[in-house]
Structure 1
Amino acid sequence: MRSYLAAEPALRRLELVVTRRLDGLLQGEHLGLLPGPGSEPGEARAYVAGDDVRRMDWNVTARSAEPYVRDPIADRELEIWVLLDATASMDFGTARMEKRDLALAAVASIGFLTQRLGNRIGAHLLHSSLSVVPARTGRAHLMALLQRVFSLPRQGSSVPGLGAALERLSRTLVRRGVVVVVSDFLDPPEGWERALRRLAVRHQVLAVEVVDPRELTLPDVGLLTLVDPETGRRREVSTASGRLRRRYAEAAAGQREAIASALRGAGASHLRLRTDRDWVRDLVQHVMRHRRLARAAAVPAQRPPGAAAVPGQGPPGGGDVA
């Protein structure tokens, strides 16, 4: 177990990385997940008969010479649940960090970027057993959650599968919210895809897939002993064989495509983070791409037939963490 003395400075450095590189860039009001109007103004849209004139946006109306209004967005407290895979396969890494450290960074990013908006965050930790951290608000709670994740010991014992963990999470969630699943998704997709699909019916789901480059390709390093961290099985292979390396790469690519296909089929947003890449940049690119798609889908649906777009008008930097 990694001690508090080691965890505290490590988590503070991680907080600085998140707040310096992501804060301000990804901040914005999240869209409400429950029906009903809020009190904060949303994006401008063309006025249609029956709209409340008290919501008129006079600045946009004056610039466009067309009447425009702003709909309110929901401003309720958002509840975020993280399902973190901390099984033995996550205790692996051959690049900048281990997969478990990258998973911690992903959880920390979501937590630090949402806790100041008053959102509640909780976690289900899949380790030697499935433990639950209740959802609460505040930085102290978030740091305690991250400290618990940081201190999880390495282990190789059998645990409930990812599918069973998703089923339990689905049964315990009462309020609609955001669910973030952080895993390498190495369990066969048929074991967790259906449970993830059920979660996505009521919640917005972000699947963070954590990958190490050695899981995708084998280097030519001669005789290599491979160990399955979940079962302890060992096998020696000769990586000097070009045919073996090609077959490994093809099998790995097929496995990752099957994972991506299952996540798409379940209706989850898919973010892949690698231990040999800048995870902050990958996170930012994912969020920006998600926002562009959301805006492109929202604008045509809200604009009446024949109405012209207002240059420079769009959602107010909103969107959620996913």
Structure 2
Amino acid sequence: MIPKEILQKVRQLEIYTNRLVNESLAGEYHSVFKGRGMEFLEVREYQQGDDIRLIDWNVTARMGHPYVKLHVEERELTVIFVVDASASGSFGTVNQMKGELAVELCSVLAFSALKNNDKVGLITFTDDVEKYVPPKKGKNHVLRVIRELLYFEPKRAGTNLRTALEFLNRVTTRKAVVFLVSDFMDRGYEQALRVTCRKHDVIPVTLTDPRELELPPMGFVEAEDPETGERMIIDTYDRGVRNMYMLLGQHAQEQRDRLFRSMKLDAIHIRTDRPYIQTVISFFHRRASRY
């Protein structure tokens, strides 16, 4: 039995994200994500103006006059959310924790997929894969995915993108749209990402808090790495310390973005101090302009 307060929270999130989908993303998702190709529908007699390349010669030979093949776009997609649930997601200094933002964004995209009758699946990972929900259709299934995201309690704290991507490639054989949601504070996942991109349509969704890029001058601060537990004292009044912190953060982002560009990946960059819906709409527009 699912506790009443959990169902209430899921319902609140459903109402909120559904409104965003209806008001801001109507038609955007459908126009951007294409099906697997063209599916055969039927044959009919040739009509003036038909493309002769569509003639079905076997049927034409049997019937004694030309017939053409008709096709329709095969719309059904599989959408999989690969979501980083490591301890660094429990960080946020503005409006939301990074992990909370990830849940909300995935909910918006999941309801967009639902409206297009696509399958939705979920992989939640830390430094190991901790939860796998195989892709299925339907509102009840999408609500289950959202429940799993909202109330998932990870057993581990670290991050291992490579393990998550390798697991995805083992369990998903047909091409899928993959939203890879993480702060990407990890190393050694580059080759696994390249392999995944050859099989699937991968969309990195990066999560960033402004305090990961810049420190305000507020005296001595004790900082703790949420994934390793390592602690250190930082003198934020020291301009050199603040500049070094900023440079390290920028360098990590530049390396990550350079990797995405080398694979021609169009990422969605989400920050805890900015509304995300316009960022998602801009992403849809960029992709749509390529078709």
Equivalent residue runs for 1:233-248 within 5 Å:
233-248=230-245
The residue number in structure 2 matching 1:126 is 125
3-state SS of the aligned residue for 1:182? strand
Give the TM-score normalised by the residue count of structure 1. 0.75
The residue number in structure 1 matching 2:85 is 86
3-state SS of the aligned residue for 1:123? strand
AA in 2 matched with 1:133 = V
The residue number in structure 1 matching 2:59 is none
- Percent identical among aligned pairs is 26
The residue number in structure 2 matching 1:311 is none
* Counterpart-to-counterpart distance in 1, 2:85 and 2:14: 21
| Contact 2:96–2:272, Cα closer than 8 Å, also in 1 | yes
Structure 1 unaligned regions, length at least 5: 40-46, 54-70, 296-322
AA in 2 matched with 1:99 = K
3-state SS of the aligned residue for 1:81? strand
| Contact 2:89–2:97, Cα closer than 8 Å, also in 1 | yes
Q: Which contiguous aligned blocks of 4+ residues in structure 1 show a shift greater than 6 angstroms?
A: none
Q: Does 1:289 align with 2:291?
A: no
The residue number in structure 1 matching 2:146 is 146
Shift of 1:158: 4.8
| Contact 1:87–1:159, Cα closer than 8 Å, also in 2 | yes
Equivalent residue runs for 1:54-73 within 5 Å:
none
Query: How many residues in Structure 1 have an aligned counterpart in Structure 2?
Result: 265
Equivalent residue runs for 1:149-228 within 5 Å:
149-153=149-153, 157-159=156-158, 161-188=160-187, 191-228=188-225
Shift of 1:137: 0.8
* Counterpart-to-counterpart distance in 2, 1:280 and 1:31: 18
Could you report, residue by residue, the CA deviation over 1:255-291 in whole angstroms, capped at 9, with x for unpaired residues? 1111111122234321110111001121111211221
Q: Whose RCO is larger (CA < 8 A, sep 6+)?
A: 1
* Counterpart-to-counterpart distance in 2, 1:31 and 1:21: 18
Could you report, residue by residue, the CA deviation over 1:17-52 in whole angstroms, capped at 9, with x for unpaired residues? 33323322524355544343466xxxxxxx997466
* Counterpart-to-counterpart distance in 1, 2:29 and 2:194: 28
| Contact 1:200–1:267, Cα closer than 8 Å, also in 2 | no
The residue number in structure 2 matching 1:259 is 256
Structure 1 residues 233 and 215, CA gap change in structure 2 (3 angstroms): same
- Comparing 113-122 with 12-21, greater Cα deviation is found at 12-21
For the aligned residues, what is the CA RMSD? 2.5
The residue number in structure 2 matching 1:36 is 38
AA in 1 matched with 2:145 = L
Structure 1 residues 31 and 282, CA gap change in structure 2 (3 angstroms): closer
3-state SS of the aligned residue for 1:259? helix
Could you report, residue by residue, the CA deviation over 1:42-87 in whole angstroms, capped at 9, with x for unpaired residues? xxxxx9974669xxxxxxxxxxxxxxxxx96522421111111001
* Counterpart-to-counterpart distance in 2, 1:16 and 1:31: 24
